């Protein structure tokens, strides 16, 4: 999948989530704003209540999307025979899409009314959703191949470009400008705070300052726009790789701990969801069938 095709793919998924969310919210905003006791008198009550045509449909569709999202991604990770059906990265993005749209629909299915055993499933779903956001952040901090495989430290280091050598051999800059650019991409982690969170924040803002100083140096040297853009891209890539190398071990360990927290919530949510569906069927609740 090319970069343009990938951007279109992501754009379509994001648009679907926004359109569905806004549409359902617009349809039910007057109903959801009414107190639970007064909703029975609302003209849309028979449509939007959890057992209503729309409300029930949202619950069924949302549950179905979440199950597909979990099963498809787990199958892609476990079975090599599926590796020809797209990269793991794209499957993860589709998993995130389904497991974002699904919980949103289930939220509207509940009509913001939680109670009993189903509440445990709902809050487990919320925990899965929120932990998924955290997991996604950790995931993108770990360098990977096109197929989605984690890269080793040596493989990541091999990705680095010799920006210093390239600048010296290909561009005519004075020694001061050259030193400023090289220093901006070779700052060591030891210069920062011992606390990892404080260190990460300070490093982020310091990197932004470094890029800004590199831009100022390049403008002073009056380089052509194409060369200016190319050098800035190289510096940004190098700084980004430095950042990932510095915290590679930390992110890999965090990702392992994240799995320990994420999977139990997903299992609790899934088990109670199955029980909830079974109980509704036993008690005769039907949708349009």
Q: What is the pLDDT of residues 218-248, one digit of tens each?
A: 777 777 778 778 778 877 877 777 777 777 7
289 found inside a domain:
no
Domain check: are 55 and 195 in the same one?
Answer: no
Is the pLDDT assigned to residue 128 strictly greater than 60? yes
CB-CB contact of 288 with 140 (8 Å): no
User: Computed from CA positions of residues 139, 143, 187, 247, in that sequence, does the dihedral angle turn out positive or negative?
Assistant: positive
Instruction: Determine the Cα–Cα distance for residues 93 and 130; give it in Å rounded to an integer.
Output: 16
Domain check: are 160 and 219 in the same one?
Answer: yes
**Choice between 174 and 42, residue whose per-residue pLDDT is larger:** 42
74 found inside a domain:
yes
Domain check: are 146 and 255 in the same one?
Answer: yes
pLDDT at 23: 92
3-state helix, strand, coil in the chain (%, to 5): 80, 0, 20
Domain check: are 132 and 32 in the same one?
Answer: yes
228 found inside a domain:
yes
User: Computed from CA positions of residues 235, 241, 244, 245, in that sequence, does the dihedral angle turn out positive or negative?
Assistant: negative
Distances (CA, A) of 161 to 5, 120, 213, 231: 27, 50, 20, 11
Domain count, the chain: 2
pLDDT tens, position by position, 61-106:
998 998 898 888 888 878 777 777 777 778 888 888 998 898 899 8
Q: Of 223, 220, 217, whose CA–CA distance to 172 is shortest? A: 223
Domain check: are 188 and 213 in the same one?
Answer: yes
Domain check: are 27 and 144 in the same one?
Answer: yes
When pLDDT is averaged across residues 104-114 and rounded to a whole number, the result is: 85
Domain check: are 273 and 239 in the same one?
Answer: no
pLDDT, the chain, mean: 78
Q: Which domain holds residue 159?
A: 153-247
When pLDDT is averaged across residues 167-183 and rounded to a whole number, the result is: 71
When pLDDT is averaged across residues 151-177 and rounded to a whole number, the result is: 65
Is the pLDDT assigned to residue 189 strictly greater than 50? no
pLDDT at 61: 92
82 found inside a domain:
yes
């Amino acid at each position: 999948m090319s970069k343009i095709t990938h951007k279109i793919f992501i754009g379509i998924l994001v648009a679907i989530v926004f359109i569905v969310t806004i549409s359902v919210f617009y349809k039910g905003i007057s109903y959801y704003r009414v107190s639970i006791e007064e909703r029975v008198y609302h003209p849309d009550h028979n449509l939007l209540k959890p057992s209503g045509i729309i409300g029930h449909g949202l619950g069924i569709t949302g549950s179905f999307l979440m199950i597909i999202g979990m099963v498809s991604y787990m199958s892609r990770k476990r079975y090599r025979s599926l590796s020809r059906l797209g990269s793991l990265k794209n499957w993860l993005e589709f998993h995130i899409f389904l497991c974002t749209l699904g919980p949103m629909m289930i939220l509207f299915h509940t009509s913001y009314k939680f109670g009993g055993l189903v509440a445990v499933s709902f809050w487990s779903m919320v925990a899965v959703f929120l932990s998924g956001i955290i997991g996604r952040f950790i995931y993108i901090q770990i360098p990977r191949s096109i197929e989605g495989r984690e890269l080793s430290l040596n493989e990541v280091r091999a990705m680095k470009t010799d920006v210093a050598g390239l600048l010296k051999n290909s561009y005519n800059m004075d020694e001061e400008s050259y030193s400023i650019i090289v220093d901006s991409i070779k700052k060591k982690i030891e210069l920062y705070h011992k606390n990892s969170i404080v260190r990460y924040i300070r490093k982020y803002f310091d990197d932004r300052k470094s890029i800004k100083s590199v831009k100022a140096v390049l403008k002073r040297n009056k380089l052509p726009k194409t060369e200016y853009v190319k050098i800035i891209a190289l510096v940004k890539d190098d700084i980004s790789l430095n950042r990932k190398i510095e915290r590679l071990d930390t992110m890999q360990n965090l990702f392992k701990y994240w799995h320990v927290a994420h999977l139990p919530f997903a299992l609790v949510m899934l088990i109670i969801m199955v029980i909830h569906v079974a109980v509704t069927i036993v008690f005769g609740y039907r949708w349009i069938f």
